[in-house]
């Protein structure tokens, strides 16, 4: 029998009292479990919203609204410094380095990184009375029929969002530079990607474009463009992604409100493709801001966030919809060029950017807005939180117990939403870089673990947020304690309290601070 979600009565006593004392409100939108929307941008740095960067060279008023009317988490982190593992961590509440993916990202046409049967935010909510949808970029692997140059587009795509808890999917398989570029709805491409292309020069940024004209064969595309060919549909063009995703998201919510199941709350996962390469703002945004094409692209992204907010307000859904807004990692390497050319700091005051283990690689914008539920909105919190924590926060909100073999690294931050006076003491947070290097942050202290030819680094982030002074030699006891905590989190298969779980692999080379025998001895004692 399907479960119907409900609010945790102890935590929302104020709402219950209001309903009891105001009978006319009974059965209204405020008595329901909240709708939930996660808006996930791609390669947006901490300093790429004007709410957090007073010196930003472009304005993002709609994104800023989420901060000003909710909570701005200023010490929030993506699970990784690149795309695929961050998306895994966000949706599962588990670090991706526990899987077979120890570094880098996935291609479009590979087995999905989320194993069958693993709980995701979507499957948890679906099983507890929500309708669920994903619109946007997946990049967690799909089983696409056939092989490059030999596809059968009459066959369905498998091992994809519809198999991971989402009841509706519209989007693209991966980043645009990985090909298989078509508008997929459900398990099929609306127009199959039967043509070929490659990266073209971009006159608005130092990256590339994916735009017509397209070639009939891979060899033609390779010869003409002198780049690795990509599969593409005749109607695909890179600068249409944001518009299509916003329109489809609104269309799906509209259909939901008119359906026989409109009494159910909804969950929408909306991962945009911006400001990831190709930086391709529509012409109507050209000339806006003072940071070139990148600023224009962020302004367009902000416009689409505004479209979502406007629709929710017009439909009366605004007050009881939670919007979580964040990015999968820090800004792409062009952040360096923007500093020199425009004086815009995508990484704000933090060191590094995308792919890096330093704060600029994974400290990201993180805003939560919920008019019905957040107490004292318009505040900021410097509590340590991770995107892996969203699963546990939602579970606590709707009073669902997470199984021992799910959300192993997820810790709820609901108390911060409930009270401006309450903070959480998070268990140590692990971050991960493109090359597989790891760090552990415990309170204000961050230890970057040894990797390959890289030595240990220790930083006091409270005094040194830009990670300029390595204190590893000066604080050997602190280093030792953090090394032990990192070891425990790795070998126990979880970082939160509970029954220890297995990682998906044995020892791997990135665990340079412990030897294989130590890993195998300790990890053999878990489930």
Which pLDDT belongs to residue 527?
A: 55
Which pLDDT belongs to residue 272?
A: 99
Average pLDDT, the chain: 94
Task: Tell me the average pLDDT across 380-404.
Answer: 98
Neighbours of 443 (CB within 10 A): 13
Domains 13-193+205-213+229-418 and 437-523 share a fold: no
Task: Tell me the average pLDDT across 416-428.
Answer: 89
> Residue 321 phi/psi, 5° resolution?
-120, 120
Which pLDDT belongs to residue 31?
A: 62
Q: Report whether the peptide linkage leading into residue 182 is cis, meaning its omega lies within 30 degrees of zero.
A: no
Question: 294, 334 in Cβ contact below 8 A?
Answer: yes
Does residue 397 or residue 31 have the better pLDDT? 397
| H or E segment and range at residue 270 | strand 266-275
Question: Under 8 Å CB-to-CB from 284, ≥6 apart: which residues?
Answer: none
Which pLDDT belongs to residue 526?
A: 67
What is the DSSP code (8-state) at residue 434? T
Which pLDDT belongs to residue 20?
A: 40
Record the tokens describing residue 47, joined without a space. Answer: 């300093």
CA distances from 78 to 41, 90, 258, 346 (A): 11, 8, 35, 16
Does 399 score more than 70 pLDDT?
A: yes
Residues 139-154: pLDDT tens digits?
999 999 999 999 999 9
- What is the share, in percent, of the chain residues with pLDDT greater than 70? 94
Q: Which one, of 434, 357, 385, lies nearest residue 83 by Cα?
A: 434
Whole-model pTM: value is 0.94
Question: Under 8 Å CB-to-CB from 185, ≥6 apart: which residues?
Answer: 169, 170
> Residue 523 phi/psi, 5° resolution?
-75, -20
Task: Tell me the average pLDDT across 16-37.
Answer: 55
Record the tokens describing residue 456, joined without a space. Answer: 């240990």
State the burial class of residue 360 (Cβ atoms within 10 Å of its Cβ: 0-12, 13-18, 19+): buried
SS3 track for 423-477: CCCCCCEEEECCCCCEEEEECCEEEECCECCECCEEEECCCCCCCCCCCCCCCHH
Which pLDDT belongs to residue 15?
A: 41
Record the tokens describing residue 60, joined without a space. Answer: 């993002």
> Residue 375 phi/psi, 5° resolution?
-85, 140
Q: How far apart are CA 65 and CA 407, in angstroms?
A: 30
> In CATH, what class is 13-193+205-213+229-418?
alpha beta
Q: Which one, of 75, 48, 41, 78, lies nearest residue 64 by Cα?
A: 48
> In CATH, what class is 437-523?
alpha beta
Q: Judging by DSSP bridges, how do beta strands 457-460 and 445-448 pair with one another?
A: antiparallel
Which pLDDT belongs to residue 83?
A: 97
| Confidence band of 512 (pLDDT split at 50, 70, 90) | very high
Does 98 score more than 90 pLDDT?
A: yes
Does 30 score more than 90 pLDDT?
A: no
Which pLDDT belongs to residue 12?
A: 43
| Confidence band of 420 (pLDDT split at 50, 70, 90) | confident
Strand partners, 324: 38, 368
Residues 463-483: pLDDT tens digits?
999 999 999 999 999 999 999
Residues 288-336: pLDDT tens digits?
999 999 999 999 999 999 999 999 999 999 999 999 999 999 999 999 9
Supply the DSSP string of 150-209, one letter for each residue. B--TTSPPBSSGGGTT-SEEEEESS-GGG--BS-EETTEESS---EEE--EE-TTSSSEE
Domain ranges of the chain: 13-193+205-213+229-418, 437-523
Q: Where are the alpha helices (DSSP H) in 315-400?
A: 335-342, 359-362, 390-397
Q: Where are the alpha helices (DSSP H) in 181-284?
A: 218-225, 241-258
Residue found under tokens 């790795």: 490
Strand partners, 381: 73
Does 17 score more than 70 pLDDT?
A: no
> Residue 239 phi/psi, 5° resolution?
-80, 5
Question: 440, 409 in Cβ contact below 8 A?
Answer: no
Q: How far apart are CA 34 and CA 21, in angstroms?
A: 21
Which pLDDT belongs to residue 449?
A: 98
State the burial class of residue 402 (Cβ atoms within 10 Å of its Cβ: 0-12, 13-18, 19+): buried
CA distances from 239 to 208, 283, 386, 434 (A): 12, 10, 30, 27
Residues 103-149: pLDDT tens digits?
999 999 999 999 999 999 999 999 999 999 999 999 999 999 999 99
Residues 355-368: pLDDT tens digits?
999 999 999 999 99
Which pLDDT belongs to residue 204?
A: 95
Q: How far apart are CA 458 and CA 468, in angstroms?
A: 10
Which pLDDT belongs to residue 23?
A: 36
SS3 track for 103-129: CCCCCCCCCCCCCCCCCCHHHHHHCCC
| Confidence band of 421 (pLDDT split at 50, 70, 90) | confident
Q: How far apart are CA 416 and CA 419, in angstroms?
A: 5
Residue found under tokens 């369905």: 156
3-state secondary structure of 306: helix
Which pLDDT belongs to residue 328?
A: 98
Q: How far apart are CA 316 and CA 398, in angstroms?
A: 21
């Amino acid at each position: 029998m399907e479960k119907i979600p409900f609010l945790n009565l102890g935590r929302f006593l104020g709402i219950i009292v209001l309903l009891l004392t105001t009978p006319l409100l009974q059965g209204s939108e405020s008595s329901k479990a909240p709708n939930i929307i996660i808006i996930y941008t791609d390669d947006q740095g901490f300093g790429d919203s004007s709410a957090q960067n007073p010196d930003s060279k472009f304005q993002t008023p709609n994104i800023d609204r989420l901060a000003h009317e909710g909570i701005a988490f200023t010490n929030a982190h993506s699970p990784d410094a690149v795309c695929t593992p961050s998306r895994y961590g966000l949706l599962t509440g588990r670090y991706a380095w526990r899987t077979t993916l120890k570094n880098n990202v996935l291609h479009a046409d590979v087995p999905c990184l989320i194993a069958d049967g693993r709980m995701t935010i979507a499957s948890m909510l679906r099983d507890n009375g929500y309708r669920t949808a994903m619109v946007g970029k997946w990049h967690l692997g799909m089983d696409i029929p056939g092989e490059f140059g030999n596809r059968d587009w009459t066959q369905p795509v498998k091992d994809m969002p519809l198999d991971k808890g989402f009841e509706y999917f519209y989007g693209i398989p991966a980043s645009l530079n990985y090909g298989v570029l078509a508008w997929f709805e459900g398990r099929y491409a609306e127009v199959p990607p039967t043509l070929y292309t490659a990266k073209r020069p971009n006159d608005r940024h130092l990256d590339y474009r994916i735009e017509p004209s397209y070639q009939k064969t891979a060899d033609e595309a390779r010869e003409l463009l002198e780049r690795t060919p990509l599969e593409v549909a005749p109607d695909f063009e890179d600068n249409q992604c944001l518009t299509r995703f916003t329109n489809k998201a609104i269309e799906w919510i509209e259909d939901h409100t008119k359906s026989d199941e409109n009494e159910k709350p909804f969950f929408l996962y909306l991962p945009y493709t911006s400001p990831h390469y190709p930086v391709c703002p529509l012409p109507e945004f050209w000339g806006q801001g003072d940071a070139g094409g990148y600023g224009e692209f962020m302004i367009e992204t902000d416009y689409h966030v505004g479209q979502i907010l406007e629709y929710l307000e017009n439909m009366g859904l605004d007050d009881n919809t939670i919007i979580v807004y964040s990015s999968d990692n820090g800004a792409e390497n062009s952040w360096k060029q923007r500093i020199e050319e425009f004086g815009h700091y995508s990484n704000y005051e933090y060191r590094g950017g995308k792919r890096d283990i330093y704060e600029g690689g994974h400290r990201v914008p993180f805003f939560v807005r919920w008019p019905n539920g957040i107490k004292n909105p318009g505040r900021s919190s410097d509590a340590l939180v991770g995107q892996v924590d969203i699963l546990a926060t939602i579970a606590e909100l709707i009073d669902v117990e997470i199984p021992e073999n799910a959300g192993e690294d997820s810790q709820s931050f609901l108390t911060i939403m409930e009270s401006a006076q309450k903070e959480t003491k998070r268990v140590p947070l692990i971050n991960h870089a493109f090359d597989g290097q790891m760090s552990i942050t415990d309170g204000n202290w961050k230890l970057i673990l040894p990797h390959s030819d890289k030595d240990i680094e220790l930083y006091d982030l409270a005094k040194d947020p830009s990670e300029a002074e390595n204190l590893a030699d000066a604080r050997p006891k602190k280093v030792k304690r953090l090394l032990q905590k990192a070891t425990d989190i790795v070998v126990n298969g979880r970082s939160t309290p509970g029954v220890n779980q297995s990682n998906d692999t044995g020892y791997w080379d990135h665990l340079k601070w412990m030897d294989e025998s130590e890993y195998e001895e300790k990890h053999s004692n878990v489930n």
